[in-house]
């Protein structure tokens, strides 16, 4: 199949590279000519494990190409995937559809023959109708169908998620379009990944509902962690006790500093705006958003308390800046609010992250960057683990104690046993333990 991926960001690049690996002919289109030139040279604009090798293999085979020429790419395509950003709109939290609409109009002018237009971007309910209307306005003679095919990729594990998905959701109402989509995803049949066909609006809502539910699980266990601290329980024991119930499941029951990233914050807000527009309030999701926003800042206060109640004039070392390990994504990372709270309290921040420090420089000001965890913690009055990168799981704790001015470890990801940390001479603060 001839596939066009409009947008070469996180979703577009991973999806395009995986489709090419399946054997399809894929062209990734992006307005950013600098990015396209870099991709042609094998330079990947994001960090995702294994993506560089997958892109290199696709390029070498000739099945994966990159261009800024939308018209040439779309002409004769079987399917055109829209995979552009839908960030929260400033001022009201709605998903900003300007990039989707712009891409749609440009695609419409180049359509030849029957083409499936695939919304891969996370878009509000009813966007498929808008895309359909825009194409008809720009090119009344176009022969096309619009489907929704939401992505369910976890940053840091995106390639495996794409190739071995829990499910593939396709929403539409045109049998020709369903036939094309079945052929595109046919390589997944050997893995028996379920391909679920539904209405277009149902598929659009499935993406938002899924992310809102996962955000709710995270927020639930974080509130249970607060209660555990008050009553003298261990949230990890509680999470295991409830997670072994198949109706609940163990995933997303890890207490920490709150959720962040490119999806959950903006998608929960966009879902709330959709519910508001349709006069169907989602009180649980409203509470999730509110609790999570407060939690990130509260983690800063937790660090201050662990450091003796006052950090003015003190140095705090932060290990981990990205919102999760195995990515360089800083969007809505909990570390941002934690660092801001500590700076507001008068602390100096020393920081280190294996992959995200270049991205962090645009959002974190007045912090000191270091090239190793031990360099960052040297002379600090407290050490904070904010992201659970593997290299932080086996720190030389006696060395940590020796390097810190004050032996305080605040483990916001619960990656260390208390007895091990305290045996090394460190005062230990965790979450919900």
Residues belonging to the active site = 263
Angle between helices 200-231 and 283-306 (to 10 degrees): 40
Can you tell me the distance from the alpha carbon of 407 to that of 82, in angstroms, rounded to the nearest whole number? 51
- Per the CB < 8 A criterion, the answer to whether 408 and 307 are in contact is yes
């Amino acid at each position: 199949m001839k596939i066009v991926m409009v947008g070469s960001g996180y979703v577009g690049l991973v999806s395009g590279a995986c489709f090419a690996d399946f054997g399809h002919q894929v062209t990734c289109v992006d307005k950013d000519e600098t990015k396209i030139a870099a991709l042609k040279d094998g330079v990947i604009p994001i960090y995702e494990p294994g993506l560089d090798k997958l892109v290199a293999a696709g390029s070498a085979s000739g099945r994966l190409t990159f261009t800024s020429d939308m018209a040439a790419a779309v002409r004769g395509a079987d399917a055109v995937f829209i995979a552009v950003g839908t960030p929260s709109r400033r001022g009201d939290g709605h998903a900003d559809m300007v990039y989707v609409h712009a891409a749609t109009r440009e695609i419409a002018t180049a359509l030849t023959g029957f083409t499936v237009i695939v919304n891969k971007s996370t878009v509000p309910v009813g966007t498929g109708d808008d895309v359909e209307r825009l194409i008809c306005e720009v090119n009344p003679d176009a022969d096309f169908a619009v489907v929704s095919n939401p992505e369910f990729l976890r940053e840091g594990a995106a390639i495996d998620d794409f190739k071995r998905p829990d499910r593939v959701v396709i929403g539409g109402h045109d049998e020709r379009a369903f036939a094309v989509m079945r052929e595109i995803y046919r390589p997944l049949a050997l893995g028996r990944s379920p391909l679920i066909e539904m209405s277009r609006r149902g598929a659009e809502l499935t993406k938002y509902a899924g992310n809102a539910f996962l955000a709710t699980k995270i927020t639930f266990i974080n509130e249970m962690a607060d209660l555990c601290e008050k009553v003298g329980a261990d949230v990890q024991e509680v999470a295991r006790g409830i997670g072994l119930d198949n109706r609940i499941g163990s995933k997303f029951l890890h207490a920490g500093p709150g959720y962040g990233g490119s999806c959950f914050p903006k998608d929960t807000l966009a879902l709330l705006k959709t519910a508001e527009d349709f006069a169907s309030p989602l009180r649980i999701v409203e509470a999730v958003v509110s609790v999570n926003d407060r939690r990130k800042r509260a983690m800063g206060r937790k660090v201050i308390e662990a450091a003796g109640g006052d950090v003015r004039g003190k140095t705090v070392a932060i290990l981990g800046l990205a919102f999760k390990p195995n990515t360089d994504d800083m969007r809505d990372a909990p570390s941002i609010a934690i660092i801001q709270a500590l700076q507001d309290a008068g602390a100096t921040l020393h920081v280190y992250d294996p992959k995200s420090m270049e991205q962090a420089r645009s959002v974190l000001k007045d912090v000191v960057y270091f090239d190793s965890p031990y360099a960052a913690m040297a002379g600090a009055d407290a050490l904070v683990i904010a992201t659970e990168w593997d290299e932080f799981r086996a720190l030389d704790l006696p060395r940590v104690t020796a390097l810190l001015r004050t032996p305080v470890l605040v483990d916001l990801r619960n990656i260390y046993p208390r007895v091990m940390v305290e045996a090394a001479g460190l005062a230990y603060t965790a979450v919900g333990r």
